[in-house]
Amino acid sequence: MKISIIGVGYVGLATGISLCLKGYTVSFYDSDKKKIKSFKRGKVPFVEEDIEETIKECLSNKNAIFADNLKEALENSNIIFLCIGTPILPEGESDLINIKNVCAELRKLVRHEVVVVIKSTVNPGDYLETKNLLSSKNFSIAVNPEFLREGSALQNALHPNRIIIGTDDEYSKKILKELYSKFESPKIFTDPMSAILIKYASNSFLAVKISFINEIANICDIVGASIDDVALGIGLDPRIGRDFLKAGIGFGGSCLPKDTKNLIRFAEKNSLSTNIVKAADIVNENQYKVVIKKLTKNLGTLENKVISVLGLSFKGGTDDLRGSVSLKLIEELKKSGVVVKAHDYLSYEKAKKIIKDIFISKDVYAVVKDADAVVIATDWKEYTKLDWEKIKELMKGNLIVDGRNLLDPKLFKKLGFVYEGIGRK
């Protein structure tokens, strides 16, 4: 069976490489020629665990082919996976332009019978539009949403906790059943709309969980309770579960914020109100302000204060800045007249291109020098292992606002810091 992957971001790459590892031959195509050139040399232009070593293995086995043009990538293909990004537009709708262009190309270039699998996250309306663009006798259409997390995408693709296949036609069902027979995960065969809603409902539910715990954390702050104990106490109820109950400054990334907003917008267009998802979005939009409040409470006016923000990526373990809450926080601090200095292990170069007027470095000790306060904005595990005694010496003040509840409050108090977490006593 020959597979083509169109769009080689972390989803396309992890999906395709997992299929290579299962023994399939996979052709990859991306309109970004520089990316393809780099993959051909076994170099991955973004950070993703295990993937670089694995690509090299697949290249030498000759079952991963990075194609220079779409025609070459589609040759003799039985299954075409569309893994093209659908970035959010200001109104909350998805930008389908890249999908539309590829669909037009597919209709021109593919003459043989093929299953076209939509892996890109598209809402029900966008699905119908895409399906229309693909209406051709030789195309069977299926929706196969992904549940990969950045940072562990390859492992998630190899061992998915479920495989969802939404299709109305028997041919797609048969081919995808065969494709995924090499995966042991539970498989759900359903119709396309249900598959789409499984994806949107999953990400919205995760968003609701995070905003819920953040709201409770804000109450903990008022009454002097501990969000760590509260999250553990509720999470041990298996009906609730412990995952995604980590309080902080809110969720970011290219998925949770986009998918919640997109679902809200889709419902609105259909005269429905998604009150719960909307509330999660509103809580999230405002949650970073808790850091500003804590800084102001301790420092008074923020004007001309030096504040070091540790972490720029939307979460630890990735260099992805899309939807990063840290960037939003930095913009707000700058508006208040703060002298912001920022650190990240991986995204510092990318960040310099976005925020030009602040000091950004990968040297954390240079970033904390002379700071009135340090804010933890990304959950880089490495921050727990820094030489905090040295940091205390380098700082002008002694305030830590831990926006990811990453550090041990007791230890930090012992070191002489004023420690403020989110909902932590």
The binding site for ligand UGA (CB under 6 A) comprises 146-150, 203, 206, 210, 244-246, 248, 251-253, 255-256, 314-315, 379
Beta strands 79-82 and 359-361 are unpaired
Three-class DSSP category at 248: coil
Three-class DSSP category at 288: coil
**Alpha-carbon distance 212 to 231, whole Å?**
11
**DSSP letter for each residue of 195-226:** HHHHHHHHHHHHHHHHHHHHHHHHHHHHHT--
Q: Name the minimum Å distance from CB 256 to ligand UGA.
A: 5
Residue 372 in tokens = 């009135």
Q: Name the minimum Å distance from CB 31 to ligand UGA.
A: 20
Q: Name the minimum Å distance from CB 156 to ligand UGA.
A: 8
Three-class DSSP category at 166: strand
179, 373, 398, 399, 412 from 389: Cα distances, Å: 54, 15, 11, 13, 10
Three-class DSSP category at 300: coil
**DSSP letter for each residue of 319-361:** ---TT-HHHHHHHHHHHTT-EEEEE-SSSHHHHHHH--SSEEE
Q: With respect to ligand UGA, which residue has the nearer C-beta, 151 or 397?
A: 151
Q: Name the minimum Å distance from CB 305 to ligand UGA.
A: 26
Q: Name the minimum Å distance from CB 287 to ligand UGA.
A: 9
Q: With respect to ligand UGA, which residue has the nearer C-beta, 150 or 221?
A: 150
Three-class DSSP category at 110: coil
Task: List, by residue number, the catalytic residues.
Answer: 255
Tell me which residue has tokens 């953040």: 214
**DSSP letter for each residue of 16-85:** HHHHHHTT-EEEEE-S-HHHHHHHHTT--SS--TTHHHHHHHHHHHT-EEE-SSHHHHHTT-SEEEE---
